[in-house]
Copies of this chain bind each other. A is one copy, B any other.
Amino acid sequence: MSTKSGLVVTAHPGDFVWRAGGAIALHAKKGYRMKIACLSYGERGESQFAWKKAGVSMEEVKAGRRAEAEAAAKLLGAEIEFFDAGDYPLRPTEAILDRLIDIYREEKPSFVLTHALEDPYNFDHPVAAHLAQEARIVAQSAGHKPDPTRAYSAPPVFLFEPHQPEQCNFKPNTILNIDEVWEVKRQAFEILAAQKHLWEYYTRVALNRGVQGGRNTGKPMTYGEAYQRLFPQALEELA
């Protein structure tokens, strides 16, 4: 069994499904330990449906979204940890940052997936991306919970695709082939019953990114997930 792991830092439950569900399922299948840090339950912004029920309480809505998120994570093969950091707006605390730093050090992930750096439609997304990066940096610091025996190296960061990529100045430089896990990703969509209008939208996104992935390499790809790698890649060979 591989001891590699991958970390996903997401503002809301829907995000890890639509934007990174393929990467999660694919690496889980390859034996990576996949961990999702889910900052909010999406209890205010993603839950229009739930709020239509007369007299529903915030705790009920949160519980519903939590159950969905757990089911989706399980299906994709990931462990999920909730931070309950607020939704619309997301307001991370120092304690949340602290816990996320610990996760980086515990998991020593081989890569981190998070939101685009800008999103004029949803300010929770850049807040999550900022937190993911800040924790990644502080985790390097020798003087934060010092332990001279610790080894930690900041992992590469990949931004996943926002809803309207051009408006977020998202420029993909990586397309992940998710053909072998597509069916799992699609099943995870269907757990998000309240956002049924997005199932077909993100199926089309996956198909069009697949065409682009094939066109950029000459190798066939049906379903793709687009990412923007943030830091330079060190290579031993260019092809």
Query: Which positions in A face B, CB cutoff 8 Å?
Result: 4, 6, 23, 26-27, 30, 43-45, 47-48, 50-52, 54, 56, 58, 61, 87-89, 97, 110-111, 113, 120-123, 130, 133-134, 137-138, 140-144, 146, 148, 153-156, 158, 163-167, 170-177, 197, 200-201, 204-205, 207-208, 211-219, 221, 224, 226-227, 229-239
Partner of A232, one of B44, B111, B175: B175
Interchain CA distance A233-B227 in the complex, whole Å: 10
Nearest-Cβ distance from residue A196 to partner chain B, whole angstroms: 13
B51 touches A143 (CB 8 A): yes
Interchain CA distance A51-B215 in the complex, whole Å: 20
A142 touches B44 (CB 8 A): yes
Nearest-Cβ distance from residue A12 to partner chain B, whole angstroms: 11
B216 touches A120 (CB 8 A): no
A87 touches B216 (CB 8 A): no
Interchain CA distance A45-B154 in the complex, whole Å: 13
Partner of A158, one of B166, B224, B238: B238
Interchain CA distance A217-B153 in the complex, whole Å: 7
A48 touches B133 (CB 8 A): no
B201 touches A219 (CB 8 A): no
A143 touches B61 (CB 8 A): yes
Interchain CA distance A110-B153 in the complex, whole Å: 31
Which residue of B is nearest A233, CB measured? Answer: B174
Interchain CA distance A155-B101 in the complex, whole Å: 38
Which residue of B is nearest A55, CB measured? Answer: B146
A130 neighbours in B (Cβ, 8 Å):
123
A133 touches B110 (CB 8 A): no
Nearest-Cβ distance from residue A9 to partner chain B, whole angstroms: 15
B143 touches A43 (CB 8 A): yes
Question: What are 30 A-B contacts with C-beta separation under 8 Å?
Answer: A4-B239, A26-B237, A27-B238, A43-B143, A45-B142, A52-B142, A88-B137, A88-B138, A88-B140, A89-B97, A89-B138, A122-B137, A123-B130, A165-B165, A166-B166, A166-B171, A166-B172, A174-B234, A174-B235, A174-B238, A176-B238, A177-B234, A200-B207, A201-B207, A201-B208, A212-B232, A216-B231, A216-B233, A217-B233, A217-B234
